Chains A and B, each alone.
Chain A
Amino acid sequence: MKILVCISHVPDTTSKINFTDGDTKFDTNGVQFVINPNDEFGLTRAMWFKEKQGASVDVVNVGGPETEPTLRKALAIGADSAIRVNTAATDGYAVAQQLATVVKDGQYDLVIAGRESIDYNGGMVPGMLAALTGASFVTNCVSLEVDGSNATAVREIDGGKETIATSLPLVIGGQKGLVEESDLRIPNMRGIMMARQKPLKVLEPINTSDATAAKSFEKPAPKGAVTLVDADNLDELISLLHNEAKVI
């Protein structure tokens, strides 16, 4: 089985979010970048398929040279080789089109992406990629088993879960649950050394046009101070929630 894991290069969850260039660009100054958490769960599941079912695992990112340390980290965790499509990821549809070319050329059986990236939260790349390549698609995927060309996936739905029977080729949008938090791997020294020797191929992009464009950004208005209620005066809290906030 040939697996491709899509890796989004995102600001660490603790990052301060600021904008530059007249609020048109994310300010990367002092920001630490990591593998998108949803993708990391997927990569870890891919490692399981590699170790238990002999799958090969490539990772891919659509982005500039600054994303390479993130791809190297994925290699250090255990991916066999990496691909970077050399173009800025500014629109989900365009990214999906770049990835579709990689998937078709590489004839991947299984593509594991994250349900969404934690920076722009578009939540569209995996579904678009599936539709562009004619693969089956399961998002919010919290469990995945593959047996030959058959796959069984569990999808989180509002208020529960559903089990889906489908077949390869398949694209999933993964998230926590695909593996446990405790299964996530921190690259060790040997992994980091080996990653330096592993191939990282840079591909030039195909021509695409952006379906959407983020024109400007703003931060939410600062919040007013909290209203503190005394622990012995719960009637006041109820009254505030009823009369002032009108939520009960």
Chain B
Amino acid sequence: MSVLVYTESDKGQLKKISFEVASYAKAVADLMNTTVTAVAINAQNVESLGNYGVSKVLNITNDAIKNFNVNTHASILEQAVKQENATVVILSSSADSRYLAPVLAVKLEAGYVSNVVEKPSNISPFTVKRTAFTNKAFSQTEINNGHKIIGVSNNSYGLVENTTTAQVEAFSPNIEDSGITVTSVDKASNQVSIADAEVVVSGGRGLKGPENWGLIEDLAEVLGAATACSKPVSDLGWRPHSEHVGQTGKPVASNLYIAIGISGAIQHLAGINASKVKVVINTDPEAPFFKAADYGIVGDAFEIVPKLTEKLKEFKAQNA
């Protein structure tokens, strides 16, 4: 009857979101008077999940599961749910978790709620708070089915330490043929992704052209940030579509979002509003972004950003 949590790793290292979903799972388990079991696939140091309240890890080591595969992974989780007799499954809002959750929901006939931002307010009826209307509202949503799947919004619950000893058990689920073959993966290895970044530096049409993106990249580099852009910037081909953030692009839920030369249209703000702290740099004091930001500078990005980058370099050197 434990709460099952799906953890994700990158090249064997557990991702930060895995510790966040483990923390969330622990909160749910406490409400239900039960314990947390994690599923880990080809990850190292899985005992570390114990620091966030996981008491048991179903540890899968199998070279055949090199890439994420929606059907294989859904089937692995289904087998883990059955073995552990779990009724609640917690996962993240990563691209892979969002891909997997609805498929798993059908296998388990579970009620699935995505974009959950708080621990359940009640477990009978099981009620969670989620975002809706692309961050323009929240909804209290009840899950009616016996099995429940909760997709936790990244960076919404945070890491909560809870020292437990995680007992690690080898787990060898059946690996089914899935009808889907990943033929190639194209991933920049030295860059943080928008989904995983603590800081995102984003540029808009105010930067005038792709030749000026060095400004954004330099600032992002000092901050260890991911780079992003507004929709017209990607439509104009100045930056790849994968950097387009907002209501029709990628969602951002970073700790810090820095918007440079972005006006702050409603569709842009909807997608980035889940970020904790927002900074805007814009020449126009009337730009709507100033209403959504925590900190703002009215001024020319071409003058301000290089100076800010230099100053941050000094700051980072002193605080290293």
Contact at B248–A37, with CB atoms within 8 Å?
Answer: yes
Residues of A within 8 A of B179 (CB): 136, 166-167
What residues on A are CB-neighbors of B193 within 8 Å? 158-160
Q: B residues within 8 A CB of A156?
A: 95, 242
The 0/1 profile, CB within 8 Å of A marked 1, for residues 105-131 of chain B is: 111011111110000000000010001
Residues 151-176 of A, flagged 1 when their CB comes within 8 A of B and 0 if not, give 01001111111111111000000011
- Contact present for B134 and A121 (CB under 8 Å): yes
- Whether A186 sits at the interface, judged by CB under 8 Å, is no
Asked if B207 is an interface residue, CB under 8 A from chain A, the answer is: no
Q: Are B181 and A166 in contact (CB under 8 A)?
A: yes
* Among B67, B195, B235, B312, contact of A159 (Cβ-Cβ < 8 Å): B195
Q: How far is the CA of A160 from the CA of B194 in the complex (A)?
A: 10
Q: Quick check: is B144 within 8 A (CB to CB) of the other chain?
A: yes
> In the complex, are the beta carbons of A214 and B141 less than 8 A apart?
yes
Q: Is the CB of A13 within 8 A of B267?
A: yes
Among the stretches A1-9, A47-55, A63-71, A215-223, the one at the interface with B is A215-223
Closest Cβ of chain B: how far from A155's Cβ, in Å? 8
Complex-state Cα separation, A19 to B133, whole angstroms: 12
The complex places the Cα of A242 from the Cα of B196 at a distance, in Å, of: 21
Assess A245 versus B96: contact at CB under 8 Å? Given A123-B114, A163-B183, A164-B183.
no
Q: Contact between B136 and A219 (Cβ–Cβ < 8 Å)?
A: yes
Task: Establish whether residues A226 and B137, one from each chain, have CB atoms under 8 Å apart when the complex forms.
Answer: no
Check: A189 CB closer than 8 A to any chain B CB. no
A139 contacts the other chain (CB 8 A)? yes
A219 vs B105: C-alpha distance when bound (angstroms): 28
- Report which residue of A19, A126, A166, A248 has the largest number of chain B beta carbons within 10 angstroms of its beta carbon: A248
Within 8 Å of chain B (Cβ to Cβ): is A235?
yes
User: A248 to B131, Cβ gap below 8 A?
Assistant: no
- Cβ distance A90 to chain B, nearest Cβ, rounded Å: 11
- Interface residue? B60 (CB, 8 A): no
Contacts of A123 in B (CB 8 A): 98, 102, 114
Is A240's CB under 8 angstroms from B295's CB?
yes
Shortest distance from the beta carbon of B165 to any chain A beta carbon, whole Å: 31
Partner of B312, one of A14, A238, A240: A238
Residue B180 interfacial (CB < 8 Å): yes
Question: How many residue pairs bridge A and B at CB < 8 Å?
Answer: 262
- Measured as residues with beta carbon below 8 angstroms from the partner, the interface class of chain A is 35 or more
Task: Kindly identify which residue among A131, A211, A228 contacts B297, using a CB–CB cutoff of 8 Å.
Answer: A228
- Does A211 lie within 8 Å of B112, measured CB to CB? yes
A61 within 8 A of B: no
Cross-chain contact B134 with A118 (CB below 8 angstroms): yes
Contact A161 B186 (CB under 8 A): yes
Give the CA-CA distance A100 to B315 in the complex, in Å: 57
Taking the closest CB of chain B, its distance from the CB of A7, in whole angstroms, is 16
Q: B-facing mask of A229-241, CB < 8 A → 1, else 0?
A: 1110011011011
The docked-state distance in angstroms from the alpha carbon of A241 to that of B114 is 31
Of B31-39, B42-50, B167-175, B301-309, the one touching chain A:
B301-309
A212 touches B142 (CB 8 A): yes
- CA separation between A182 and B270, bound complex, in Å? 23
| CB of A210 within 8 Å of the partner chain | yes
Among candidates A152, A181, A211, residue contacting B145 with C-beta atoms closer than 8 Å: A211
Minimal Cβ-Cβ distance residue in B for A38: B248
Measured in the bound complex, the distance between the Cα atoms of B304 and A229 in whole Å is 12
Chain B contacts for A37, CB-based, 8 A? 247-248
Q: Are B144 and A209 within 8 A (Cβ)?
A: yes
Interface residues in A84-119 (C-beta closer than 8 Å to B): 92-93, 96, 118-119
Cα distance A38–B244 in the bound complex, in angstroms: 14
Give, as a whole number of angstroms, the nearest-CB distance from A145 to chain B. Answer: 12
Query: Which 10 A-B pairs have CB atoms at the shortest separation, nearest pair first?
Result: A127-B102, A159-B193, A160-B187, A131-B106, A231-B299, A211-B111, A158-B195, A124-B102, A247-B256, A17-B136
Spell out B's residues near A (CB within 8 Å).
67-68, 70-71, 74, 94-96, 98-103, 105-107, 109-115, 127, 131-145, 179-188, 191-196, 198-199, 223, 231, 235, 241-242, 244, 247-249, 255-256, 266-267, 270, 273, 276-277, 279-280, 290-300, 303-304, 307-308, 311-312, 315, 319
Seen from chain A, the residues whose Cβ lies within 8 Å of a Cβ on chain B are 11, 13-14, 17, 19, 26, 37-38, 92-93, 96, 118-128, 130-132, 136-140, 142, 152, 155-167, 175-177, 180-182, 209-220, 223-224, 226-231, 234-235, 237-238, 240-242, 245, 247-248
Q: List 28 A-B contacts (CB under 8 A).
A: A92-B102, A121-B132, A125-B102, A127-B103, A128-B106, A131-B102, A136-B180, A139-B98, A156-B95, A160-B188, A166-B181, A180-B235, A181-B235, A182-B235, A211-B112, A216-B139, A217-B138, A218-B137, A218-B140, A220-B136, A224-B294, A231-B299, A238-B308, A238-B311, A245-B294, A247-B198, A247-B255, A248-B199
